[in-house]
Amino acid sequence: MTRWLLHVDLDQFQAAVEFRRHPELRGRPVIVGGNGDPEEPRKVVSCASYPARAHGVRAGMPLRAALRACPDGVFLPQDLATYAEASEEIMALLRTFPGRVEVLGLDEAFLAVDTDDPEQLAREIRSAIEELVLTCAVGIGDNKTRAKLATGFAKAVGKSGDAAAERDAGTGIFRLTADNWTELMAHRPTTALWGVGARIAKRMSALGITTIAELAAADRELLAKEFGPNTGPYLWVLGHGAGDTEVAEPREPVGHSRSETFPADLTERAEFDAAVTRLATQVAGETLAGGRSVARIGVTVRTSTFFTRTKQRKLAQATTDVDEVVQTALRVLHGFELDRPIRLLGVRVEFGPPAE
């Protein structure tokens, strides 16, 4: 049997989770972000349903801009705990299939499987996820790079204009391998590659490299000179669609954090203390609920000028006392020069031994 990499990507994940508990919202332009108030400053869209995307709403867009683009949108607050629970449900389901699972985020994962019919396995995965009242696309590749990019074709079927993609229209499954890489990818801009953003693409463009075909044909020494001895050759490898075929087991989390960007800058010491107390209480409570103790506490401060700094303090002994975590976080906070308005505060704890 052949080793295949499958990339499973949940569709409009946060919105889809909201549809499970609010089925009356299906088919409507749902926008998830912040506290659900589109007039709240400094909050951005975390997920938009497909009808909302048809209005131009995208993740990362300020909520106020999303309201202008889609005045009839349904704005909902983020519920990270519920999304995390749904993600764990999905990942547990994926682990019931043959192969190994590598979780990439709340809504996507790789599976490494040995099979002669990866499409059949992909159909089984999609069917199982549909039983959870969610949907997904599955990209199939001979490595991670191609599997990840194949998911884009799986989601774009019926809209991409690619004849090969149209043959699979409506299935939500697509295979991208060395056999069809040149046909489907060579003419595309370098930003179509997984891991190539606008800044790197702009630098490559200055070298006369604008398409994936041009990147694949580029001089590796030139790339190394421009991007460094590691990144340069890696970009050349990406241009050929090469990539890793191994999946990594999930790493044990070493900490937990919470942060908040405020609608208006905080200016008073009492406001700083109240925010850190709230965040530290949440983080400590969630950590202890998970059966872990707290060994180190860090506080991040971002000022109105976007200057960002983190300070930490290690406890003499790991604790399960929420009040001790809060008081330590406040002491760390007071170690900053709090002489400027604060835009964001965050609290992070590093785990100690399991709580007894």
Domain CATH for 298:
3.30.1490.100
Question: Does residue 133 carry a pLDDT above 80?
Answer: yes
Give the CA diameter of the chain.
65
Residue 170: per-residue pLDDT: 47
User: What is the mean pLDDT of the segment spanning 242-253?
Assistant: 78
Query: In the prediction, which pLDDT does 1 show?
Result: 75
CA distance 15 to 22: 10
For residue 228, what pLDDT is reported?
93
Residues 142 and 125 in one domain: yes
Residue 112 within any structural domain of the chain:
yes
In whole numbers, what is the pLDDT of the chain averaged over residues?
A: 90
What is the CB-side half-sphere exposure of residue 275 using CA atoms within 13 A? 26
Looking at the structure, tell me whether residues 215 and 307 fall in a common domain. Answer: no
Q: Which of 79, 113, 129 is at the close of a domain?
A: 79
* pLDDT given at position 250: 63
Task: Annotate 268-293 with three-state secondary structure.
Answer: CHHHHHHHHHHHHHHHHHHHHHCCEE
208: left (phi over 0), alpha (psi -120 to 50) or beta: left
Question: Does residue 210 belong to any structural domain of this protein?
Answer: yes
Task: Tell me whether residue 248 is in a domain.
Answer: no
Q: Is a pLDDT exceeding 50 seen at residue 159?
A: no
Range of the domain at 331: 255-354
Same domain (yes/no): 279, 347: yes
User: Is 80 exceeded by the pLDDT of residue 5?
Assistant: yes
92 shares its domain with 6: yes
Which has the higher per-residue pLDDT, 104 or 249? 104
Question: Is residue 135 within 8 Å of 172, Cβ to Cβ?
Answer: yes
| 46, two tokens | 């975390």
- The letter for the amino acid at 125 is I
Q: Are both 57 and 111 inside the same structural domain?
A: no
pLDDT in tens, 213-222: 999 999 999 9
Catalytic residues: 108
Mean pLDDT of 117-128: 93
Average pLDDT, stretch 240-266?
84
Strand partners, 309: 301
Residue with tokens 């709403």: 57
Mean pLDDT, residues 307-312 taken together: 89
Same domain, 282 and 346: yes
Residue 245 lies in a domain: no
Q: Inform me whether the pLDDT recorded for 165 exceeds 50.
A: no
Q: How many domains does the chain have?
A: 4
Distance of alpha carbon 312 from alpha carbon 347, whole angstroms? 10
Residue 356 has pLDDT above 70, yes or no: no
Q: How confident is the model at residue 188 (pLDDT cuts 50, 70, 90)?
A: very high
Q: Is 181 domain-assigned?
A: no
CA–CA separation, 62 and 77 (whole Å) = 14
Q: Same domain, yes or no, for 7 and 120?
A: yes
Sign of the Cα pseudo-torsion (139, 140, 146, 148, in order): positive
Residue 115 has pLDDT above 60, yes or no: yes
Same-domain check for residues 230 and 321? no
Q: How large is the average pLDDT for residues 4-24?
A: 94
Residue 234 belongs to a domain: yes
Burial class (CB in 10 A: 0-12, 13-18, 19+), 187: exposed
Q: What is the pLDDT of residue 163?
A: 42
User: Mind listing the pLDDT tens digit for each residue in 63-87?
Assistant: 999 999 999 999 999 988 889 889 9
For residue 42, pLDDT beyond 70: yes
Give the predicted TM-score (pTM) of the model: 0.74
Can you tell me whether residue 242 is helix, strand or coil? coil
Residue 350 has pLDDT above 90, yes or no: yes
With respect to residue 156, please indicate whether it lies within any of the assigned structural domains: yes
Contact 30, 172 (CB under 8 A): no
CATH number at residue 45: 3.40.1170.60
Flag whether 64 is in a domain.
yes
Q: What is the CATH number of the domain that holds 130?
A: 3.30.70.270
Phi, psi of 334 (to 5 degrees): -70, -5
Sheet holding 47-48, edge to edge: 47-48, 30-32, 74-76
| Same domain for 339 and 283 | yes
User: What pLDDT score was predicted for residue 251?
Assistant: 65
Got the DSSP string for 225-268?
HHH-TTHHHHHHHHHTT------PPPPPP-EEEEEEEEEEEE-S
